[in-house]
Amino acid sequence: MAKRDPNRREFLQLAKTFKMGKNDPSGLLISEKLDGCRCFWDGGVSRGCPTDTVPWANIIDPKTGDRKKKIKPIASGLWSRYGNPIMAPDWFLNRLPVMFLDGELFAGRGNFQFCRSIISKDVPDDEAWRKIAFPIFGAPSINQVFRDGTIKNTNFHLDMSFGRATTFLANRCREIATDLMPIHQDTTFEGELNILQSALPNDELVYLHRHLFLPGDRNAAEKAMNAFLHEVLEEGGEGAILRDGGAIWTPKRVSALLKLKPFTDDAGIVTGFTSGRETSKGSKLRGLIGALILDYNGKRLELSGLTDEERIFLLDADAKWAWEHPGDEMPEGTQGRYFKFGDKVEFRYRELSDAGIPKEARFLRPV
């Protein structure tokens, strides 16, 4: 078994999966797992800077090692989990405190695709952003966020340098005459929550995400955990997150942060497309992508759940062919505006069929 590189890290702290019967939830904090888009706020220090001057920006194509062809030119201070700028309106950014925040952009339960379509735009839609909230669940320290290490995945490749990042931060703070709120590197999650209670505006858009302590007895904790999960699912949520209140924020996938949900996330490779069609239920996808065709462990999977914008073909000729052949598999060589042959995408499903095919699979995000 290959040894894990101790220098490997992630951009943000990520959760492992809670395993019933194996993991003990007693004494942990529980919160709803939000169906939104994870993001990091750098206190606004990078706001207005050319993106390619920010040491933690994702500007290198992991597949080629060359500079990415498309980079949002100006940073906003808000960053996706893959180090890409999120362009938000000034009124939204102005309400955020001058401190590091770890949270999620959220448009309500079941609205992940809507949220993603809003926050991914190069120019923010002012009115649409009024439907986006920013629940906060962390205030990590500079030492942890920018610790030396290598981020290496299919979306993000960066050699993070603590020295470069802190030099950039210091210079920018002098330029804009501001100081980041200091968070000690040994601050625990409980400590972060205490800091955030007084630092956040706690209005309808920017607020501290709700956490509850589970009992110290394992049986009582499991009972309370399952009751909490049931309530979340009944209200249309997707699951729960369990956190160790005594743990320190670490930019890796950690066992101090566990996700609990009835759905499973997985990934497949795009091998083609089907054309959309009109149906008696009101679906009007004619001339658009009906579904992505994936190779999933050697099996064919047709994946839906795309937004209208994500269903657009790259070429007008392909859209014309799709209009004339509704419900058919598109010719070889077809590309979507946002998807092409060979792309890896992540999806969510409830369970596998006897043949090993995911049931109720819905597109989640590109990988």
DSSP states of 35-75: SSEEEEEETTTTTTSBGGGSTT---B-TTTSSBPS---SB-
Q: CA dihedral defined by 306, 260, 210, 244, rounded to 10 degrees? A: -130
Is there a contact between 152 and 159 (Cβ–Cβ < 8 Å)? no
What is the band of 366 on the pLDDT scale with cuts at 50, 70, 90? confident
3-state class (DSSP) for residue 342 = coil
Domain final position from 244, 260, 276 = 260
pLDDT at 283: 63
The whole-angstrom separation of Cα 78 and Cα 120 is 12
> Cα separation of 107 and 103, whole Å?
13
Among the candidates 197, 227, 260, a domain finishes at 260
What are the backbone dihedrals phi and psi of residue 40, each rounded to the nearest 5 degrees, phi first?
A: -130, 135
Q: In terms of domains, do 250 and 278 share one?
A: no
Q: Note the pLDDT of residue 280.
A: 60
Could you give phi then psi for residue 211, rounded to 5 degrees?
A: -125, 145
Same domain, 159 and 303: no
Mean pLDDT value of segment 305-322: 93
Rounded to 5 degrees, φ, ψ at 154 are -70, -15
Is 280 found in the same domain as 144?
Answer: no
- In the structure, what pLDDT confidence band is assigned to residue 151 with cuts at 50, 70 and 90? very high
As a whole number of angstroms, the distance between CA 229 and CA 200 comes to 27
d(CA 41, CA 18) in angstroms, rounded, equals 27
Q: Same domain for 38 and 107?
A: yes
Mean pLDDT of 294-318: 93
d(CA 58, CA 66): 11
Identify which has the larger pLDDT, 350 or 30.
30
Q: Which of 343, 318, 366, 365 lies closest to 36 in space, CA to CA?
A: 365
275 shares a domain with 143: no
Instruction: Give pLDDT, residue 113.
Output: 84
Q: Please report whether residue 1 resides in a domain.
A: no
225 and 180, same domain (yes or no)? yes
Query: Given strand 149-152, what is the order of strands in its sheet?
Result: 8-9, 149-152, 157-160
Q: Any idea what the CATH number is for the domain that residue 326 is in? A: 2.40.50.140
In a domain, 166, yes or no: yes
Helices of type H across 72-217 = 90-93, 112-119, 126-129, 142-145, 162-175, 189-199
Print the domain residue range for 211.
Answer: 9-260
180, part of any domain: yes
User: What mean pLDDT is predicted for residues 115-126?
Assistant: 94
Cα 196 to Cα 239: distance, rounded to the nearest angstrom: 23
Does residue 356 lie in a domain region? yes
1 pLDDT more than 50? no
So what's the pLDDT on residue 275? 95
Q: Tell me: do 14 and 112 sit in the same domain.
A: yes
CA distance 156 to 63: 10
Least confident of 204-218, 252-266, 311-325: 252-266
pLDDT tens digits for 74-106?
999 999 999 999 999 999 999 999 999 999 999
Q: Give the model confidence (pLDDT) of 37-62 as tens digits.
A: 999 999 999 999 999 999 999 999 98
Whether 156 is in a domain gets the answer yes
Q: What is the pLDDT of residue 295?
A: 95
**Residue of 346, 264, 262 whose CA lies nearest to 305:** 346
47 and 22 fall within a common domain: yes
Structure tokens at 345: 């995408």
Residue 3 lies inside a defined structural domain of this protein: no
Same domain for 209 and 341? no
- pLDDT of 3: 61
Q: Is the same domain home to 270 and 256?
A: no
If pLDDT is split at 50, 70 and 90, which confidence band does 63 have? confident
CATH code of the domain in which 19 resides: 3.30.470.30
173 with 79, same domain: the answer is yes
Mean pLDDT of 119-144: 96
Res 356: pLDDT = 87
**pLDDT, average across residues 253-263:** 92
Q: Give the count of domains, the chain.
A: 2
Do 225 and 324 fall into the same domain? Answer: no
Residue-wise pLDDT tens digits, 184-239: 999 999 999 999 999 998 789 999 999 999 999 999 999 999 999 999 999 989 89
Confidence of residue 282 (pLDDT cuts 50, 70, 90): low
Is the pLDDT assigned to residue 168 strictly greater than 80?
A: yes
Instruction: Please tell me the distance from the alpha carbon of residue 343 to that of residue 361, in angstroms, as a whole number.
Output: 17
- 245 domain-assigned: yes
Domain annotation covers residue 2: no
* Average pLDDT value over all residues in the chain: 93
Domain boundary among 210, 231, 260: 260
